[in-house]
Amino acid sequence: MDAQSEAKRLYAEIEKLLDGVMRAYDEGKDIDPNRIIEQHIATLVQVIGSMPDDLAQQWREKFMTLVAKATDFSDKLAEQHKELSGEIQGISDRNVAMRAYQERIDG
């Protein structure tokens, strides 16, 4: 398989995997996107690197659309992490207050 065909195949596969990861996330499933996609991206980068410069430049631009999509998803995960951290801190603060109140009543 030539580099152009291999790049097309890998690009489509990565795009499909990324869409699947995002769909699984939206469905509330536990996912590890790095483990799923990392090797495919590394292979695509190698294939693009083996192409003539003019062809590689076209693929670099397409590759950047995947990077943007992955970055958007990463930002979504980071926002959720921030929200969950705030919720956990709120629960912890309430538990500390409840224990202090209970100690004062029992006291």
How far is 105 from 87, CA to CA, in rounded Å? 27
pLDDT at position 17 is: 86
How far is 3 from 52, CA to CA, in rounded Å? 10
Query: Nearest CA to 44 among 74, 70, 80?
Result: 70
Query: Nearest CA to 59 among 69, 47, 71?
Result: 47
pLDDT at position 107 is: 67
Residue 48 CB contacts under 8 Å (≥ 6 apart), including other chains: 3, 7, 56, 59, 60, 63
Query: Nearest CA to 15 among 81, 79, 70, 87?
Result: 70
Indicate the domain borders of the chain: 3-106
User: Over its length of 107 residues, how does the chain's per-residue pLDDT go in tens digits?
Assistant: 788 899 999 889 888 888 888 888 888 887 776 766 778 888 888 888 899 999 899 888 888 888 888 888 878 888 887 887 877 887 887 877 788 878 888 86
pLDDT at position 22 is: 84
Helix (H, G, I), strand (E, B) or coil at 32: coil
